[in-house]
Amino acid sequence: MTDFVLTRVANGTGTITLDRPKALNSLSLEMVRRLTEVLLAWRDDANVDAVVITSSSEKALCAGGDIRFFHEAGHATPMGGSALLEDFFTEEYALNHLIHFYPKPYVSIMDGVVMGGGMGIAQGGPETGLRIVTDRTKMAMPEVNIGLFPDVGGSHFLSHAPGQLGNYLGLTGLTIGAADGLYVGLADVYVPGAQLGALTALIESTPGAQLADAIRGFAAGFASEVGASELQAQRAAIDAHFGAASVAAIMESLSRDENPFAQKALAAMRQRSPLMMCVTREMLVRGAAMDVADCLRMERSLVRRNFEHGEVLEGVRALVIDKDNAPKWNPATLEEVTPAMVERFFEPVWPACAHPLRHLD
């Protein structure tokens, strides 16, 4: 329901408040459509000089896409609703593109859980995006945990992370906090959760045209409080392990490292879909040489292949529907994943002239 997306314009700033707290603001198709509608309207509105996206709950900005919907629609015939999956991913990725290239300051308050699709709506582009993290931020691209891959532009923003940090985040799906988010380049400034009231007051009292600079100045006073980045401390090990030539080689390298950090990464990867880890690694290799639009087009094709295969349906069943946490991955082991299986995911679904995201540039 569009009731989950609240909007207001005041003092030159348009504020979007996600208000679906029971689902941690998971994105439905209706929410994606409302966000797109609002951002398109504000893009051309002379009364809006900046946009802020936030949440009514300190628990989450957005926990991702509505994966229960994925499961239900993915099991339906087109007449029964699976065509809505096509709409969801096409429109979600188009929204991600709109946000990345938004021509006005786009401020995301990444308080609480920000995962998957939540990252997609928080990652404003380098020209106008201002991404705020707090001491409550729990950031991740955990899609391999449900048999999917890091989408919503993850093939671009993870592949452009320093060194092998993108491979680490994409293949393990592990959660990071504020200091790590800043270090990886997925956040810009830190504001303690206790200061969000003061930040809100600043937003309300500052003209939109001056907002981005005002927030940066406000946040500068807290930069020393963010703490140390574990990823920075472990950077050499991450680059050594995750720079290996294949997922199997990465896991073999990790298995020889008794460092608890390496063992935690290995344990996580042992729970993930073997096939989708291999697809993710290949996607990040390809994404590093692509622009944002081409990355999103690649991801849109990968989603279609993924639902054809069924890996995500099994992952969601195990994690969310039956909650047995025992997905029957296909193939079950990394040794059974062949190059041909991975390559199949990258075969064109549509001719270029018919791709649903062909108009992105």
What's the confidence (pLDDT) of residue 216?
A: 98
Sign of CA dihedral 97, 71, 336, 243: positive
The least confident of 79-88, 204-213, 251-260, 344-353 is 79-88
Q: Pairing mode, if any, of strands 13-18 and 5-10?
A: antiparallel
What's the confidence (pLDDT) of residue 69?
A: 87
pLDDT at 8 over 70: yes
Whether 121 and 95 have beta carbons less than 8 Å apart is answered as yes
> Any catalytic annotation for residue 335?
no
Q: What does each C-alpha distance from 203 to 150, 187, 215 come to in angstroms? A: 32, 19, 8
Tokens linked to 193: 């959760």
Task: DSSP for 141-210, please give it.
Answer: --GGGGT----TTHHHHTTTSSTTHHHHHHHH---B-HHHHHHHTS--EE--GGGHHHHHHHHHHS-GGG
Q: Is 98 left (phi over 0), alpha (psi -120 to 50) or beta?
A: alpha
What's the confidence (pLDDT) of residue 2?
A: 61
Q: Please tell me the distance from the alpha carbon of residue 125 to that of residue 106, in angstroms, as a whole number.
A: 9
Q: What does each C-alpha distance from 18 to 66, 251, 306, 330, 345 come to in angstroms? A: 14, 38, 28, 36, 33
pLDDT at 67 over 90: no
Number of Cβ within a 10 Å radius of residue 285:
12
> Any catalytic annotation for residue 151?
yes
Task: Indicate yes or no: pTM above 0.85.
Answer: yes
Q: Please tell me the distance from the alpha carbon of residue 31 to that of residue 38, in angstroms, as a whole number.
A: 11
pLDDT confidence band for 128 (50 / 70 / 90): very high
Catalytic residue among 66, 72, 92, 151: 151
Whether 50 and 208 have beta carbons less than 8 Å apart is answered as yes
The least confident of 79-83, 90-94, 172-176 is 79-83
pLDDT confidence band for 244 (50 / 70 / 90): very high
Residues 6+ away with beta carbon under 8 Å from 262: 237, 241, 254
Catalytic residue among 92, 143, 299, 314: 143
Whether 204 and 12 have beta carbons less than 8 Å apart is answered as no
Task: DSSP for 198-255, please give it.
Answer: HHHHHHHHS-GGGHHHHHHHHHHTTGGGS---HHHHTHHHHHHHHTSSSHHHHHHHHH
Catalytic residue among 65, 154, 166, 177: 65
Q: Pairing mode, if any, of strands 60-62 and 106-110?
A: unpaired
pLDDT at 248 over 70: yes
What's the confidence (pLDDT) of residue 261?
A: 98
Mean pLDDT of 286-303: 98
CA-CA-CA-CA dihedral for 213, 215, 217, 221, to nearest 10: -170
The residue with tokens 């639009």 is 293
Mean pLDDT of 69-79: 82
pLDDT at 306 over 80: yes
> Any catalytic annotation for residue 117?
yes
